[in-house]
Amino acid sequence: MSYVLQQLMNAFQLGSIYALIALGYTMVYGILTMINFAHGDLFMVGAFLCFVAAVFLKLSFVPVMLISMFGVALLGVVIERLAYKPLRQAPRVSAIITALGVGLFLENFTLALNPYPKQIPQLMSNTTWTILGVSISSLQAFIIVLSLLLMLILDLIVRKTMVGMAMRAISWDKATVPLMGVPMNLIISVTFAIGASLGGAAGVMYGLAYPVIDPYMGIMVGWKAFISAVVGGIGNIRGAMIGGYILGMVEILVVAFFPSTYRDFVAFALLIVLLIFRPYGILGKPQPQKV
Amino acid sequence: MKKAFLFVVLCMVASVFLTACSGEKGSTVRIGVIAELTGDMPAVGESCKKAAEMAVQEVNNAGGLDIDNKKYKVELFVEDNAGKADQSASAAQKLITQKKVHAIIGPNATRYAIPASEIAESSKVVLISPWSTNPKTTLDAKTNAPKKYVFRACFIDPFQGRVVAKFAMESLKVKKAAVLYDVASDYNKGIAEFFKETFEQSGGKVVAFETYTTNDKDFSGQLTKIKKASPDIIFLPNYYSEIPLQIQQAKRLGIEVPIVGSDSWGSQELLKLCGKDCEGCYFSTHYAADAATPVAAKFIEAFKTKYGVMPDDVAALTYDSFGLLWQAIKGANRVDRQAVRDALAGILKYEGVTGNMQFKEGSGDPVKSAVILRIKDGKFVYFVSANP
């Protein structure tokens, strides 16, 4: 029993981080119907900013988090302005290829600065509690709570504020909304900033939970978060959260009950099966193709 | 008329330069190094490069290599393989065809050494891997016979797996072991299997044999499973950049058993990345800097004066690879790829920084002893030696 609970705890921690990153994919897709494949690398930049702020500036957790979120948000906006905006009228595939290129650029830029893996220092005291034979570290609990809090805030922004309403409107109809006086470029920038800052926050939390970081850390995590977003229904914010938790859960449970070699294989196979039956994801809605 | 004159002059100038260059080519020994300067283990590549530069500088400062009563300077070409198998192969190709090297040292990690060794073997150029311990590096994949042009300066994994298993059973007196290893990497997989084989043959039991893939950061699922199997010891034959994560996550889950590793731990970077978490762990490796022979002490002193850091096992093995090569070139008494290979294959005994090496006839694998180190107060401390 305690074994299963322990594995569930592990799954929650992993799932929270996947969910946070998946939100970045889903928001950009919701507004621009474009997949920002550079998002996993923005997450990596977040972890490196965390390292710089914690080691060179010797800051504590809260300013480190703010620096990472703000820095990555800024980077997200700059990337959108320089790389994606000129391609807004181009075929969608051009933007996706550009995004892959931007991701490679970020990886190799970080690599060129310094190729060594880095250790993130402990920014908070980490005690381990044992409840019913289950080890829960305060860090683990903190990551889960903070991720849920960030997702809740995002959900509120999208549902209750003017900016959120504008975002939803743009995703509904890109042609008419600007005519109503909605500053489309600004809203798109804000979307990129929010999505990227969540990626930055995930980078910090990932860095705290798995404290050795390297320039390639964003690739696999980025793919898994992207898949989480697709499973949940890409473009749907609550779907991204659910997708993240499902993927975390599947991965850990596969390891728990099968030989661990099957981890990625079974995880991806399950997702393929799910997408065969619900190609628009769990919470997504089928979109009629205009012919 | 004027143009024709200019053309003739240019031709003459060019021919002077060309002959000058080709004349230069004759009187140097050209050595290529393939190292992991970027990618997932840059500390390994850096050590290899430093030791290589030191070895070459020593020879050149002494006037060069004495071959056939003539002094030959050594020229070094360092290529980065970026921690990629394909780039290792292309680096080998570039060194052989463009730089026209007489021999190659590196790559270090098995998963890069194997593809590079294939190129070296088919191009008939000597390749010495300082650090690749997997048997497959020097064996032909099809015939399983030893490759003719591939050598190494380190012991091989069946021996290392046996050393660790024996050490766990005899010195730590454990009966149940758990293993967590990278299934996507030849080195990790090989040594995990050799360990399991020996450990079970000598009456122990491997209660958990868990895997992950390169670049995974979350091992909590596997470690929870290991905890449930309640082993007396955990064996982690993985690279230095992954070890800190694995040990920290194990500790967070409340696993308190001794942890043992293999020679892939032996980088000073491990101490930086791991901090207090690695205290008290053991690992098998090639030499102990604090229990050094006179040969090793001289090397360590020179390395420390030049770079200000302790040389790790990769540095020592790279230096030994060059030592082997110098001996072979002197023995061949001629700078020629085939002659160097024949002389190298003829070396039966070599005294190096990492101990005495003995080569069996027709094999590129030296027989040599291993040491077990313990991490204590943030340092690698000699614990015990293991002889073949």
How distant is the Cα of A184 from the closest Cα of chain B, in angstroms? 39
* pLDDT at residue B22, as a whole number: 42
HSE (side-chain half, CA atoms, 13 Å) at B305:
6
The gap from C-alpha B231 to its chain's centroid, in whole angstroms, comes to: 31
Cα distance between residue B44 and residue B37, in whole Å: 7
CB atoms within 10 A of CB B326: 18
Residue matched to tokens 């990497």? B185
Q: Which of B183, B218, B253 sits opposite A14 (nearest CB)?
A: B218
Q: What SS3 string covers chain A?
A: CHHHHHHHHHHHHHHHHHHHHHHHHHHHHHHHCCCCCCHHHHHHHHHHHHHHHHHCCCCCHHHHHHHHHHHHHHHHHHHHHHHHHHHCCCCHHHHHHHHHHHHHHHHHHHHHHCCCCEECCCCCCCCEEEECCEEEEHHHHHHHHHHHHHHHHHHHHHHHCHHHHHHHHHHHCCCCHHHHCCCHHHHHHHHHHHHHHHHHHHHHHHHHHCCEECCCHHHHHHHHHHHHHHHHCCCCHHHHHHHHHHHHHHHHHHHHHCCHHHHHHHHHHHHHHHHHHCCCCCCCCCCCCCC
Write down the ipTM of this complex.
0.84
Q: What is the mean pLDDT of residues B70-92?
A: 93
Interface of A with B (CB under 8 A): 3, 6-7, 10-11, 13-14, 111, 115-117, 119, 126, 128, 130, 135, 137, 139-140, 206, 210-212, 214, 216-217, 219-221, 251-252, 254-256, 259-261, 263-264
Indicate if the pLDDT at residue B4 is higher than 70: no
Continuous segment of H or E residues that includes residue B170? helix B157-170
β pairing state of B103-105 and B205-212? unpaired
Closest Cβ–Cβ partner in B213, B216, B221 for A7: B221
Strands of the sheet containing B370-376, edge to edge, are B205-212, B176-182, B233-236, B259-261, B282-285, B370-376, B379-386
Q: Please answer yes or no on whether A14 and B273 come within 8 Å at the CB atom.
A: no
- What pLDDT shows up at residue A34? 86
- β-strands B126-129, B150-152 pairing: parallel
pLDDT tens across B147-182, in order? 999 999 999 988 998 899 999 998 899 999 999 999
CB contact under 8 A, B253 and A6: yes
Mean pLDDT, residues B349-357: 89
Contact B213 A219 (CB under 8 A): no
At residue A191, the pLDDT reads 92
**Cross-strand partners of B67:** B70
Q: Report whether pLDDT(B280) > 70.
A: yes
Residue B171 CB neighbour total at 10 angstroms = 13
Mutation for A interface: B46, B220, B256, B267, most A CBs within 10 A: B220
Q: So what's the pLDDT on residue B117?
A: 94
In this complex, which of A13, A212, A220 lies closest to B241 when CB atoms are compared? A212
Please enumerate residues of B whose Cβ is less than 8 A from a Cβ of A.
37-40, 42-43, 183, 210-213, 215-218, 220-222, 224-225, 227-228, 241-242, 244-245, 248-249, 252-254, 269, 272-275
Please tell me the predicted confidence (pLDDT) of residue A284.
78
| Residue-level pLDDT at A256 | 85
Determine the pLDDT at residue B33: 96
CB contact under 8 A, A6 and B224: yes
Closest to A211 (Cβ–Cβ): which among B222, B242, B248?
A: B248
Q: What is the pLDDT of residues B106-146, one digit of tens each?
A: 899 989 999 999 999 999 999 999 999 888 899 988 888 89
Contacts of B183 in chain A (CB under 8 A): 261
Question: Is B11 a residue whose pLDDT tops 60?
Answer: no
By CB neighbour count within 10 A (0-12 exposed, 13-18 middle, 19+ buried), where does B104 fall? buried
- Alpha carbon of B81 to those of B35, B36, B75, B85, B115: distances in Å? 6, 5, 19, 8, 11
- Give the start-end residues of each E strand in B116-246: 126-129, 150-152, 176-182, 205-212, 233-236
What was the pLDDT predicted at B23? 40
Contact B221 A256 (CB under 8 A): yes
Higher-pLDDT residue of B8 and A60 is A60
Cβ(A203)–Cβ(A46) below 8 Å: yes
Q: Residue B24's pLDDT band (boundaries 50, 70, 90)? A: very low
- C-alpha Rg value of chain A to the nearest Å: 19
Q: Which of A115, A212, A256 sits opposite B244 (nearest CB)?
A: A212
What is the predicted pLDDT for the residue at B2? 61
Among A119, A124, A249, pick the best mutation site for testing chain B contact (most B Cβ within 10 A): A119
Q: What is the pLDDT of residues B198-211, one digit of tens each?
A: 999 989 999 999 99
Candidates B232, B279, B234, B314; CA nearest to B36 is B314
Torsion of CA B168, B172, B178, B184, to 10 degrees: -40
CA angle A27, A29, A35 (to 5 degrees): 120
A-chain residues near B228 (CB < 8 A): 3
In chain B, what residues touch A220 (CB-CB under 8 Å)? Answer: 215-216
Within 8 A of A113 by CB-CB distance, chain B residues are none
Q: What is the pLDDT of residue B20?
A: 46
pLDDT the model gives residue B26: 54
Helix (H, G, I), strand (E, B) or coil at B132: coil
At position A172, the amino acid (one-letter code) is W
- Asked if A260 lies within 8 A of B42 by C-beta distance, the reply is no
Q: Strand ranges (DSSP E) for chain B?
A: 28-35, 65-67, 70-80, 103-105, 126-129, 150-152, 176-182, 205-212, 233-236, 259-261, 282-285, 349-352, 355-359, 366-367, 370-376, 379-386
CB A251 within 8 A of CB A225: no
Q: Could you give the 3-state DSSP secondary structure of residue B350?
A: strand
- The answer to whether B169 touches B201, Cβ cutoff 8 Å, is no
Q: Which residues of chain A have pLDDT under 70?
A: 287-291
Q: Of A119, A128, A252, which is closest to B252 when you measure between CB atoms?
A: A128
CB within 8 Å of A10: residues ≥ 6 apart: A252, B218, B220, B221, B224
Does the pLDDT value for residue B19 go beyond 60? no
Which of B291, B293, B237, B245 shows the shortest CA–CA distance to B266?
Answer: B237
Find the residue in A nearest to B183 (Cα).
Answer: A261
Query: What local confidence, expressed as pLDDT, does residue A288 receive?
Result: 62
A191-208, pLDDT tens digit by residue? 999 999 999 999 999 999
Question: Taking CA atoms, what residue in A is nearest to B210?
Answer: A260
Of A205, A281, A158, the residue nearest A16 (C-alpha): A205
Count of alpha carbons within 13 Å of A105, Cβ hemisphere only?
Answer: 12
C-alpha R_g of chain B: 23
The rounded distance, in Å, linking the Cα atoms of A40 and B260 is 34
Q: Report how many Cβ contacts below 8 Å link chain A to chain B.
A: 91
Q: Are A167 and A189 in contact (CB under 8 A)?
A: no
Q: Residue B245: closest CA among chain A residues belongs to which residue? A: A210
Report how many helices (DSSP H) and strands (DSSP E) chain B contains, helices first: 12, 16
Instruction: With cut-offs at 50, 70 and 90, classify the pLDDT of residue B276.
Output: confident
Q: Which residues in chain B have their CB less than 8 angstroms from residue A206's CB? A: 217
Q: Smallest Cα–Cα separation from B301: which of B285, B289, B291? A: B289
B213 contact residues in A (CB cutoff 8 A)? 263-264
Query: How far is B106 from B238, CA to CA, in rounded Å?
Result: 19
Question: What is the Cβ-side half-sphere exposure of residue A243, based on CA atoms within 13 angstroms?
Answer: 35
Select from A3, A5, A6 the residue whose CB has the most chain B CBs within 10 Å, as the one to mutate to test that interface: A6
Residues of chain B found within 8 Å of residue A211, distances taken between Cβ atoms = 244-245, 248
Cβ neighbours of B122 (radius 10 Å): 12
Q: Are residues B221 and A252, on separate chains, in Cβ contact within 8 Å? A: yes
- Asked if residue B25 has pLDDT above 90, the reply is no
Of residues B209, B262, B266, B208, the one with CA closest to residue B238: B262
Per-residue pLDDT, averaged over B52-58, amounts to 95
Nearest to A135 among B42, B245, B254 (CB): B254
CA distance B305 to chain A (A): 23
